[in-house]
Structure 1
């Protein structure tokens, strides 16, 4: 009985120690400085950048004016919320002729907000709520239109 309790206590202590170890996970890909040095601003095109650096994380279609390469490193510690310890974004901007216009590198310390996708649609409703649209139509109804009489 004593051996069973001792084994159980040792197992629980080892489990607690292992569960509180730091685990780092890496996600994504950003090109190195040497790889970016091969990309010449004003000379390279969208196709040559994709060939030399690989496909971007986002911005892969020809209607987007930028390529984004994103990598991050997260610290997982026990049951605590994962925390980012490293994040890097390489943004390669193109002009209207698909030639490299600018290369930017951002990190966690920069505090830059990079908008990857803008999901705002300018509507014809002019920011009027649905109820206001309904109430606005009440006085515009003509009895002749409803009855369809010539």
Structure 2
């Protein structure tokens, strides 16, 4: 089952295999990040970049890790209000590849430095943003849209 989940996730993401650049790479990426795209939040300094477990703790859950791969880690959070996914990446390029692949499905996501939170109830993203920082991004999706009569 776990292999099927990993294979399905990786099939959706046109990622190349590479090693993490280490702390020096993370420091360079932090300096290159556009501060206007990342909103401030009380814990934002702790979150970016972070591990699934750190983000989960800040949002009030203990994540169950679903995917552990070179390109990403993904954990499932279950709370009284909502279930949601936290995905972290070793480099920004992997996050961007994930977003590019997810764009065909559309939806709203909370996006930070090397992490993404996705939830079925998009109204929850603003509550998470106040705790984590980041920005809410709307992805368009492809295909026909429902007509309004």
Answer whether TM exceeds 0.5 for this pair. Answer: no
TM-score, normalised with respect to structure 1: 0.25
* Larger RCO: 1 or 2 (CA < 8 Å, sep 6+): 2
Structure ID, larger Rg: 1
Greater share of helix residues, 1 or 2?
2
TM-score, normalised with respect to structure 2: 0.25
